[in-house]
Amino acid sequence: MLEVHVVDRMVKTFPQLRTIGPTIPSAYLDNKIEGDNDYGLNLFKPDSSICMNWLNSRANGTVVYVSLGSMSELNKEQMEELAMGGQKNTSYQEKTLGEIENGNKGLVVKWSPQLEVLSHVAVGCFVTHCGWNSTLEALSLGVPMVGIPQWTDQPTNAKLIADEWKVGVRVKVSDDEKGIWTKKDLEVSIREVMEGDRGKEMKKNSIKWRQLAQQAVGLGGSSDQNLDEFVATLIC
């Protein structure tokens, strides 16, 4: 259970409380439901073939997947740092992202099939805004994370990722009110996850949480049992 202390406290107040999940499509956990490989709703129509063909050309565990959510927006300064910035001209963002693709160092898309990407063996790290859906998907699929939280629940999720579940790190930001992170800060965090002994430990922990997720939704798992108990209360 992800937040066992919270749930234990809630159960004392609400004895009938039951937890379920993780609630991601069956194809990525137990494969019980045929054809259940998506949530059924996307703001854009992702082209899976572009991403999958590119990932298929990469070695296992070598790709850093970057997605900062559908609602958050980086300012120009942060976008330049993300795109390996430093220059301050207005066309730098587009120029740099184009050079990444032209140099065959990466792939830039407007929208990606995130579950397919995270479940691909080439992906070794997920740079994320730490929104709950993305966090849960990465945990369920065993992908270590680099957190760049911005608002609402994201800082809390980032703390859980780094300090409680130990499946990633949070990028260091400046101490002023802007809270800016730099290219160097991001690079250090990615290297920490992708390389070295601590990165191996994060990967080991990520695999553990993936296995626990599969057990929870599997036959006789906590989610499976709790759903059965909930249904039983409705028909009795």
pLDDT in tens, 40-86: 776 666 668 999 999 999 999 999 999 998 777 778 788 878 876 33
Residue range(s) defining the domain that contains residue 179: 42-235
Domain count, the chain: 1
Give the pLDDT of residue 111: 86
* pTM of the complete model: 0.89
Answer whether residue 127 is part of any domain: yes
Which stretches of the chain drop beneath a pLDDT of 50? 85-95
Q: In whole angstroms, how large is the CA radius of gyration of the chain?
A: 19
pLDDT attached to residue 211: 97
Residue 32 placed within a domain: no
pLDDT at position 93: 46
Tens digits of residue pLDDT in 187-206: 999 999 999 899 999 999 99
pLDDT at 46: 61
Whichever domain contains 125, its CATH number is 3.40.50.2000
Model pLDDT, residue 163: 97
